[in-house]
C-alpha cells in the first residue's frame, strides 16, 4: 500500500491557516485550573518533532553509524518529551479526578 | 495508513478540546497520547524503505521503549512544586531533538540552491529549536534557584548582535544561496548562534517572569513543530505544532496581562523598579497564633489566599488540615487563587489538588473580588504582591494596574509572613497599613501548625 498523502506548499498554507483558527477556537475558554495540565500536555505534543528523526532513523542504511547514532539521540529526546509530558499530565489530572470522586461520596 | 493519520489528527484536536474541560480532561490527555502514538506508528511504517534493515527497526523500538521508561520515571518522581522545572526540561529536550534532526537532515541530504524554501524551513527549525533548547535550560536553572551569572548590559548587547547576525545570514541565504558558505556549514553556524542566543536572551529575564517565559518557550517549540511539519510535509506535525503554538501564545498573553507586564518588557528583561513609598515606616500590627485561631474559630466565612510562598514551605497539606478543622467548626472555607500564583499558569490549582483540596472550594479572583466583604477572615499565606492595594490606589507604584485580589475588603485580614521582605516587585505592601490587617510572623508551615494546635484547644 503506497502512502500518497503528501502536502504541497499551498496545501501546507491552507492547513496552517485553518488549524491556526481552529487551535485558538479550541482552547479559548480553558479555566485557570487546567492551565498547567494544558501546558504540559501541549509540551508533550510538541515532541512530535521526533517524527523527522524517526524518518531519518528508518531510512538510514545500517552502515551509516553516525547518522544512526544521532537520529537515535534525537528520537530518544523527542520521545522522552512526549512520554514524560503525557505521563505527568495524567498524574496531575488524576489528582483533580480523585477530588471529584470524593465530592460525589459526600 | 492515511486513515491512521486522519484519525491521529482528529484525535489531537479532540484531545486538546477535552483537556480544556475539567470533566473530560483525563480522557482528553489519553486521546491526545493515543493519537500521537498512532501517528508515530504511521510514520514508522511509512518510512520503511528498501534501505531499512533489522538494525533500524531494533533501534527504533529500543529507543522508544527507553524513552517511555525514562519519561515515566521523570513524571512520577517530580514533586508538584517542581512541575515548571519538569516542563522546561522536557521542552528543552524537544528543542535539542529539533536541532539534531535539522542538522542531520541538512548534512546527510544536501539541499540544492534551487530549494531555498526547504532550506529556509530547515534553518528556521534549527534556530527556533536551538533557542528553545538553551532558553529552556536557563529557565530550568532559574526555577531551580541555581546561581547564574548576573545579567549585564553586555549580555543584552551580545544577544542583539547574535540575533542581527542570524537575520543577516538568513536573508543572505535566501537572496544568494551558497554565496558565503555551503548550506551544511551555514546550518551548523546558525544552529550554534541560536544556542548562544537562547541562553543570552533568557539570562536577564527575572525569576518572577518565569511563568511568561515558560509559556513563550512552549509556544516557540510549537513553531518548531510547524516548520518541521512543513519541511517533512507531515500534516500531524503541522497541526500539532499549530495547536501547541496557539496554547503557548494564548497563555503567554494571559500571563503577561495578569502580571501587568507587556510581553516585550518581559522578554527584554526589564525589571520595573521604582519606589514611591520606599523607606517609609509602616504601621504593622502583629498577631499571635493563638489570637489567629480564636479569630478563625468565630468566623463563618473564611478565605485562604495562597501564594508560592506556601508551596515553598510545603504548607499545602497542613493548610488543608486546618481547612477541614474549620469546616468541622461550622465555617465555610474558600481558596482564592490569583492567575499568577505559583511558577506557571494554574500551578497553584495543581498544588492544592495534590493536598486534597476540593475542586469546588477553589475560586478564581474574578469570581469573588466584588463580594470580598462577605468574608469574616482572610488568610494570606505566602502571597504578597497579588494582594497589594497599591495596584489600585498608587499610580506611581510599579504594580499599578495589575489585577489583585481585594483581600483588604474583607472584615479581617491575617497575613502569614516570614519577615518584612517585599514581594518580587519590591513594592511595599500597603495592605499592612490597613486597620483590618494583622501579620502573623514565621514560617508558613509552622504558623499553620501552631494555629491548628490552638484550634484543638478551643
Structural domains in chain B, CATH included, are 83-267 (no CATH), 289-457 (3.40.50.1220)
- pLDDT tens digits along B201-211: 888 887 778 88
The answer as to whether A17 is a domain residue is no
| Cβ neighbours of B248 in A, within 8 Å | 39, 42
Residues from chain A that touch B224, judged by Cβ atoms under 8 A, are: 46, 49
Residue A13 lies inside a defined structural domain of this protein: no
Cα-based distances in Å from B364 to B339, B343, B361, B417: 8, 17, 10, 22
ipTM, interface predicted TM-score of the complex: 0.85
Catalytic residue ranges of B: 385
Cα B29 to Cα B74: distance, rounded to the nearest angstrom: 18
The pLDDT assigned to B126 comes to 94
Closest chain A residue to B5 measured between Cα atoms?
A5
Q: What integer pLDDT is reported at residue B442 of this predicted model?
A: 85
Span B293-314, pLDDT tens digits: 888 888 899 999 998 888 877 8
Question: What is the predicted pLDDT for the residue at B134?
Answer: 95
What is the extent of the structural domain holding A98? 31-105
Mean pLDDT of chain B: 86
Q: Judge whether B211 is closer than 8 Å to chain A, CB to CB.
A: no
Confidence of residue B424 (pLDDT cuts 50, 70, 90): low
- State the smallest CA–CA distance between residue A76 and chain B in angstroms: 6
Query: b/e map of A29-57 (b: 16 or more CB within 10 Å)?
Result: ebebbbbbbbbbbbbbbbbbbbbbbbbbb
Other residues' Cβ atoms within 10 Å of the Cβ of residue B191: 21
What DSSP state is assigned to residue B381? E
What is the rounded CA–CA span in Å between residue B153 and residue B200? 11
In total, the C-beta contacts within 8 angstroms joining chain A to chain B are: 370
Residue B180: the pLDDT is 74
* Residue in B with minimal Cα distance to A55: B47
Quote the distance between the C-alpha of residue B235 and its chain's center: 27
Across the strands, what pairs with B379?
B304, B414
| Cross-chain CB nearest to A41 (options B32, B59, B63) | B32
**Cα separation values, B307 from A46, B123, B272, B348, Å:** 30, 42, 21, 8
For residue A52, tell me if it sits in a domain: yes
Q: Higher confidence at residue B238 or residue B111?
A: B238
Mean pLDDT over B58-85 rounds to 91
Reported as a pLDDT band with limits 50, 70 and 90, residue B225 is very high
Where do runs of H (alpha helix) occur along B334-375?
347-354, 365-368
DSSP state of B431: G
Using CB atoms, which residue from B40, B71, B80 is nearest to A84? B71
pLDDT confidence band for B333 (50 / 70 / 90): very high
Q: Do B47 and A103 count as a contact with CB atoms less than 8 A apart?
A: no
CB atoms A58 and B49 under 8 Å: yes
**Mean pLDDT of all residues in B167-184:** 84
Cα–Cα distance measured from residue B76 to residue A84, given in angstroms and rounded to the nearest whole number: 9
Cell triple for A16: 496552517
What pLDDT is stored for residue A105 in this prediction? 43
Is pLDDT of A104 > 60?
Answer: no
| pLDDT winner (highest mean) among A96-105, B182-191, B385-394 | B182-191
pLDDT > 90 fraction of chain B, expressed in percent and rounded: 28
Q: Would you call B71 and A83 a contact, using CB atoms and an 8 Å cutoff?
A: yes
- Best A49, A96, A101 residue to mutate vs chain B (most B CBs within 10 Å): A49
The beta-carbon neighbor of B237 closest among A22, A39, A51 is A51
d(CA B360, CA B372): 17
Structural contact between residues B20 and A42, judged by C-beta atoms closer than 8 angstroms = no
Per-residue pLDDT at B458 = 77
Taking CA–CA distances from B23, the nearest residue in chain A reads A97
Partner residue opposite B242 with nearest CB, options A20, A83, A91: A20
In a domain, A41, yes or no: yes
**Selection from A74, A24, A42 nearest residue B129 by Cα:** A74
Dump pLDDT digits (tens) for A54-93. Answer: 988 888 888 888 888 999 999 999 999 999 999 999 998 8
Q: For residue A16, is it within any domain?
A: no
Strand order of the β-sheet with B301-306 is B362-364, B332-337, B301-306, B377-381, B413-417, B437-441
List alpha helices for A27-64, DSSP H: 35-46, 50-59
Helix axes A50-59, A65-105, angle to 10 degrees: 140
Cβ contacts of B53 on chain A, cutoff 8 Å: 61-62
Closest CA to A19 of A2, A31, A4, A7: A7
In a domain, A93, yes or no: yes
Contacting residues of A for B237, CB less than 8 Å apart:
48-49, 51-52
Q: What is the enclosing helix (H) or strand (E) of B333?
A: strand B332-337
Which pLDDT band, with edges at 50, 70 and 90, does B72 fall under?
A: very high
Cα B258 to Cα A87, B321, B391, distances in angstroms: 29, 30, 12
Evaluate whether residue A1 is within a structural domain.
no
Q: Is the pLDDT of residue A106 over 60?
A: no
Q: How many domains does chain A have?
A: 1
Each residue of A17-62: pLDDT tens digit?
Answer: 888 888 788 777 788 778 888 899 999 999 999 999 998 888 888 8
- Position of cell 531551580? B144
CA angle B440, B445, B450 (to 5 degrees): 60
Does the pTM of the predicted model rise above 0.95? no
DSSP class of B286:
B
pLDDT of residue B357: 86
- Does A55 fall in a domain? yes
Amino acid at each position: 500500500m503506497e502512502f500518497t498523502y503528501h502536502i504541497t506548499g499551498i496545501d501546507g498554507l491552507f492547513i496552517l491557516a485553518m488549524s491556526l483558527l481552529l487551535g485558538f477556537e479550541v482552547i479559548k475558554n480553558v479555566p485557570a485550573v487546567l492551565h498547567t495540565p494544558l501546558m504540559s500536555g501541549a509540551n508533550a505534543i510538541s515532541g512530535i518533532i521526533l517524527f523527522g528523526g524517526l524518518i531519518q532513523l528508518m531510512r538510514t542504511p545500517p552502515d551509516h553509524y553516525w547518522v544512526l547514532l544521532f537520529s537515535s539521540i534525537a528520537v530518544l529526546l523527542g520521545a522522552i518529551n512526549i512520554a514524560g509530558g503525557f505521563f505527568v499530565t495524567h498524574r496531575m489530572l488524576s489528582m483533580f479526578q480523585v477530588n471529584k470522586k470524593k465530592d460525589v461520596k459526600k | 495508513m492515511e486513515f491512521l493519520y486522519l484519525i491521529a489528527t482528529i484525535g489531537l484536536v479532540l484531545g486538546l478540546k477535552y483537556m480544556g474541560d475539567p470533566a473530560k480532561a483525563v480522557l482528553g490527555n489519553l486521546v491526545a497520547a493515543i493519537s500521537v502514538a498512532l501517528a508515530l506508528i504511521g510514520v514508522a511504517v511509512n518510512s520503511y524503505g528498501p534501505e531499512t534493515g533489522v538494525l533500524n527497526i531494533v533501534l527504533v523500538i529500543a529507543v522508544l521503549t527507553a524513552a517511555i521508561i525514562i519519561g515515566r520515571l521523570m513524571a512520577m518522581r517530580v514533586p508538584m512544586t517542581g512541575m515548571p522545572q519538569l516542563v522546561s526540561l522536557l521542552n528543552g529536550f524537544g528543542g535539542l531533538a529539533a536541532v539534531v534532526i535539522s542538522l542531520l537532515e541538512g548534512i546527510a541530504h544536501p539541499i540544492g540552491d534551487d530549494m531555498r524554501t526547504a532550506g529556509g524551513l530547515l534553518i528556521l527549525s534549527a534556530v527556533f529549536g536551538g533557542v528553545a533548547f538553551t532558553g529552556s535550560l536557563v529557565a530550568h536553572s532559574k526555577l531551580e534557584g541555581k546561581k547564574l551569572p548576573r545579567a549585564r548590559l553586555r549580555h543584552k548587547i551580545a544577544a542583539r548582535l547574535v540575533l542581527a547576525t542570524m537575520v543577516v545570514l538568513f536573508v543572505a541565504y535566501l537572496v544568494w544561496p551558497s554565496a558565503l558558505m555551503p548550506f551544511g556549514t551555514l546550518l551548523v553556524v546558525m544552529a550554534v548562534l541560536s544556542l548562544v542566543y537562547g541562553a543570552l536572551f533568557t539570562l536577564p529575564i527575572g525569576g518572577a517572569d518565569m511563568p511568561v517565559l515558560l509559556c513563550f518557550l512552549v509556544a516557540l517549540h510549537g513553531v518548531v513543530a510547524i516548520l518541521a511539519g512543513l519541511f517533512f510535509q507531515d500534516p500531524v506535525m503541522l497541526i500539532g505544532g499549530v495547536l501547541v503554538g496557539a496554547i503557548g501564545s494564548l497563555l503567554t498573553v494571559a500571563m503577561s496581562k495578569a502580571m501587568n507586564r507587556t510581553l516585550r518588557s518581559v522578554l527584554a528583561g526589564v525589571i520595573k523598579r521604582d519606589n514611591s513609598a520606599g523607606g517609609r515606616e509602616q504601621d504593622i500590627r502583629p498577631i499571635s497564633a493563638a489570637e489567629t485561631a480564636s479569630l478563625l474559630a468565630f468566623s463563618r466565612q473564611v478565605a485562604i489566599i495562597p501564594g508560592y510562598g506556601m508551596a515553598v514551605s510545603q504548607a499545602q497539606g497542613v493548610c488543608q488540615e486546618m481547612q477541614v478543622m474549620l469546616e468541622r467548626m461550622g465555617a465555610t472555607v474558600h481558596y482564592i487563587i490569583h492567575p499568577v500564583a505559583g511558577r506557571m499558569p494554574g500551578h497553584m490549582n495543581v498544588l492544592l489538588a495534590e493536598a486534597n483540596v476540593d475542586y469546588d472550594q477553589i475560586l478564581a479572583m474574578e469570581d469573588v473580588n466584588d463580594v470580598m466583604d462577605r468574608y469574616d477572615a482572610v488568610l494570606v499565606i505566602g502571597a504578597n504582591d497579588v494582594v497589594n492595594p497599591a495596584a489600585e490606589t498608587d499610580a506611581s507604584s510599579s504594580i499599578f494596574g495589575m489585577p489583585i485580589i481585594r483581600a483588604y475588603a474583607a472584615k479581617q485580614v491575617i497575613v502569614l509572613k516570614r519577615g518584612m521582605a517585599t514581594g518580587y516587585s519590591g513594592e511595599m505592601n500597603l495592605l499592612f497599613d490597613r486597620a483590618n490587617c494583622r501579620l502573623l510572623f514565621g514560617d508558613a508551615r509552622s504558623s499553620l501548625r501552631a494555629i491548628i494546635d490552638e484550634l484543638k484547644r478551643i
